[in-house]
Homo-oligomer: A and B are copies of this chain.
Amino acid sequence: MSQRDIQIDEAGNLVHFLTLEGLSRPTLVGILDLAESFVGFEAREIKKVPLLRGKTVVNLFFEPSTRTRTTFEIAAKRLSADVINMNPARMSTSKGETVLDTVRNLEAMHTDMFVVRHEFSGTAYLIACHVPPHIRIINAGDGRHAHPTQAMLDMFTIRQHKPDFANLSVAIVGDILHSRVARSQIHALNTLGVPDIRVIAPMTLLPTEVERLGVRAYTDMASGLDDVDVIVMLRLQMERMRGQLIPSEQAFFRCYGLTEDKLQQAKTDAVVMHPGPINRGLEIASSVADGPQSLILPQVTNGIAVRMAIMAQLMGGAGRKEAA
């Protein structure tokens, strides 16, 4: 059974959120619409809804994270769930227990949802294959494979500013090779009908046969950014680079760092995005990151609403109905 199959049950309901591959356009649009309803709510005086009251959400982060873990924790608490943060550094895995044994123990505690991040591709899927039917798994990033909630918040942010996916040019720039974010974004953009998706990177940071994913590949910014509506900068993941994939940070910034100058290539109303945390002066100039075209902080804000929507959707209730 593939990841596509396991996340939809026989009645067609979304039961896990592991990858965007295989999810239909109505499913993605349904999540975006549901998230929309939580955005207004965000500004209210009391930011709580009882959709997950009495439910226990476990943040199971084998890899460290600030913003993703925190936004999931905030999203779950705003849905009135109890949140348990697992500290991998001291988990029983360090006593020789396998990931699946850890998970079996957590499910035996009658918890309801696991938000999983792991350095190995496929961990969230592996877990989803082994949990009983009432437990929901959300992939918060697995190796180089996928980061579907990030891609959904990016789609949400794009739609806020460029509502018509069918008329967009989107360029994703930087370390495509190691980026689970890019992979998930490409799936989402294709599913939502974006006709022109580009990736821009040095040859060493492009996957082989990347065009098969439904994108056009560029190795220079001038032509890659030409006339695009949306520029998505990726974090240069120094910690994942084994060997010398870039000559130097300075050289990388000179060629692929987004500066005000390079930004001129795009449409004048183009927007700039980045999943964070940003490396100022490495993949993006501060003047652009903090400039008027930047949506970097709105992305973070939208992350809460989008994650609330995905959690609500998976747990059924209001979410499912509205998004059906």
Contact = CB atoms under 8 A, between A and B. Distances in A.
Interface of A: 42-48, 53-56, 64-67, 70-71, 73-74, 77-78, 82, 84, 86, 90-92, 94-98, 101-102, 104-106, 108-111, 239, 276-280, 297-301, 303-304
18 contacts: A43-B110, A44-B54, A45-B54, A47-B55, A56-B77, A64-B94, A66-B86, A66-B92, A67-B92, A70-B86, A74-B82, A74-B109, A101-B278, A104-B297, A108-B297, A108-B299, A108-B300, A109-B303
A229 B304 CA distance: 52
Contacts of A65: 90
Given A90-B64, A106-B70, A109-B70, A46 B54 contact: yes
A82 B110 CA distance: 19
Nearest to A300: B108
Given A66-B97, A77-B82, 19 more contacts: A45-B54, A64-B94, A66-B92, A67-B92, A70-B86, A70-B109, A74-B84, A78-B82, A95-B239, A97-B276, A97-B278, A101-B276, A102-B277, A105-B300, A108-B297, A108-B300, A109-B301, A110-B301, A110-B304
B46 A53 contact: yes
A54 B98 CA distance: 37
Given A66-B105, A86-B66, A48 B56 contact: no
B47 A56 contact: yes
A191 to B, nearest CB: 26
Q: For A42, A73, A95, A111, which residue has the most chain B Cβ atoms within 10 angstroms?
A: A95
A62 to B, nearest CB: 12
Contacts of A71: 109
Contacts of A301: 108-110
A298 B74 CA distance: 31
Contact of A92 (B84, B104, B277): B277
Contacts of A277: 92, 95-97, 101-102, 105
Contact of A105 (B44, B96, B297): B297
A67 to B, nearest CB: 5
A110 B67 contact: no
Contacts of A92: 66-67, 276-277
A94 B67 CA distance: 13
B66 A102 contact: yes
A245 B42 CA distance: 52
Nearest to A95: B277
Given A66-B90, A74-B82, A105 B56 contact: no
Contacts of A239: 95
Nearest 8 A/B pairs, CB to CB? A46-B54, A108-B300, A64-B90, A97-B277, A92-B277, A108-B297, A66-B92, A108-B301
